[in-house]
């Protein structure tokens, strides 16, 4: 069997199993920690505007969620943002936007430096998004599913007055959808793309398109997944859909059909793309450069495809 892209996360049966999140601290309005202090006994850090830095890659769908939510809620002044280079090498995510190649706030060249400062024994993949405490230089969390939920629930004092309510009072239906979409779609494209056996690939492929078929049907009579209101689950689906034809269809062999060939999903994705803070946060160049240049086992030539044309996202 050919080695997978991430050997430590590939099973003997060729299935790709995503690593867990190493840092799971919570920035909470209920924290008992004093301002300027580290986490309390329950691992909760205090809500302090200006203290934390959100580290993202514009290529990464998990990080893209946090970019959109932060902007929708108006938290730009409360939580600063750092963008890493889309091309990740064996040293991990790099800060390259400043002339000296270091993040101007944290003073580090690689996100891995903050990981090592927080846990010198850590030897897993360094992932984004991550929230880093600017006072200590330590990683508070890289728990991407929880980061966006906490932005909605713990930072309410600093939300813009007209911020959307992304989490409904009754979360049961949304949480079930989130779980299904994560398993079969958000993570499903990776399970297909990083599989190293035919059986593992086909299982992920079949689950992916079965879920997309169900979502296509669900969107036949509504604008958003839960009706007529934008919710967190829509953001989570969007960041996968916007990468589908550019990356997952070809690079990850998710090629039963393109997103543009699902009438309801394609209309839904374009509707979201046109909303403030959605399309303007999409960078197709960085998305393609990351996937096609970084995954050497899948694309050894490093050739980046020219298409598809991003203009299709703004056509009527």
Q: What is the pLDDT of residue 12?
A: 66
pLDDT reported for residue 7: 55
Which domains are present in the chain? 20-158 (3.40.30.10)
Instruction: Name the burial class of residue 197, with classes exposed (0-12), middle (13-18) and buried (19+) by CB atoms within 10 angstroms of its CB.
Output: middle
Residuewise pLDDT in 10s, the chain (316 residues):
454 555 566 666 778 787 678 899 999 999 999 999 999 999 999 999 999 999 999 999 999 999 999 999 999 999 999 999 999 988 899 999 877 999 999 999 999 999 999 999 999 999 999 999 999 999 999 999 999 999 999 999 999 999 999 999 999 999 999 999 999 999 999 999 999 999 999 999 999 999 999 999 999 999 999 999 999 999 999 999 999 999 999 999 999 999 999 999 999 999 999 999 999 999 999 999 999 999 999 999 999 999 999 999 998 7
Which positions are catalytic?
60, 190
pLDDT of residue 10: 63
Percent pLDDT > 90 in the chain is 91
């Amino acid at each position: 069997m050919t080695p997978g892209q991430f050997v430590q996360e590939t099973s003997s049966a060729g299935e790709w199993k995503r690593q867990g999140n190493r840092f799971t601290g919570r920035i909470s309005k209920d924290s008992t920690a004093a301002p300027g202090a580290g986490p309390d006994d329950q691992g909760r850090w205090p809500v302090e505007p200006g203290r934390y830095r959100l580290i993202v890659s514009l290529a990464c769908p998990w990080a893209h969620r946090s970019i959109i939510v932060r902007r929708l809620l108006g938290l730009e002044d409360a939580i600063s943002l750092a963008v890493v280079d889309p091309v990740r090498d064996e040293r991990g995510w790099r800060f390259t936007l400043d002339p000296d190649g270091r993040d101007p706030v944290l003073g580090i060249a690689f996100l891995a430096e903050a990981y090592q400062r927080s846990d010198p024994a850590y030897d897993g993949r360094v992932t984004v998004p991550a929230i880093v405490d600017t006072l200590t230089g330590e990683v508070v969390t890289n728990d991407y599913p929880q980061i966006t939920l906490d932005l909605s629930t713990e930072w309410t004092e600093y939300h813009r007055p007209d911020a959307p309510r992304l989490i409904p009072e009754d979360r049961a239906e949304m949480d079930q959808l989130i779980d299904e979409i994560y398993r079969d779609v958000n993570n499903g494209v990776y399970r297909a793309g990083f599989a190293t056996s035919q059986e593992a690939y086909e299982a992920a492929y079949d689950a992916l398109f079965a879920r997309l078929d169900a979502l296509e049907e669900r969107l036949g009579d509504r604008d958003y997944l839960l009706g007529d209101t934008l919710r967190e689950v829509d953001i989570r689906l969007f960041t996968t859909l916007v990468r589908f034809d550019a990356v997952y269809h070809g690079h990850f062999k998710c090629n039963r059909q393109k997103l543009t060939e699902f009438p309801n999903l394609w209309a839904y994705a374009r509707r979201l793309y046109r909303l403030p803070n959605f399309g303007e946060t999409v960078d197709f160049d960085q998305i393609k450069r990351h996937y096609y240049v970084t995954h050497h086992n899948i694309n050894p030539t490093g050739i980046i495809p020219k298409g598809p044309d991003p203009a299709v996202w703004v056509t009527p």
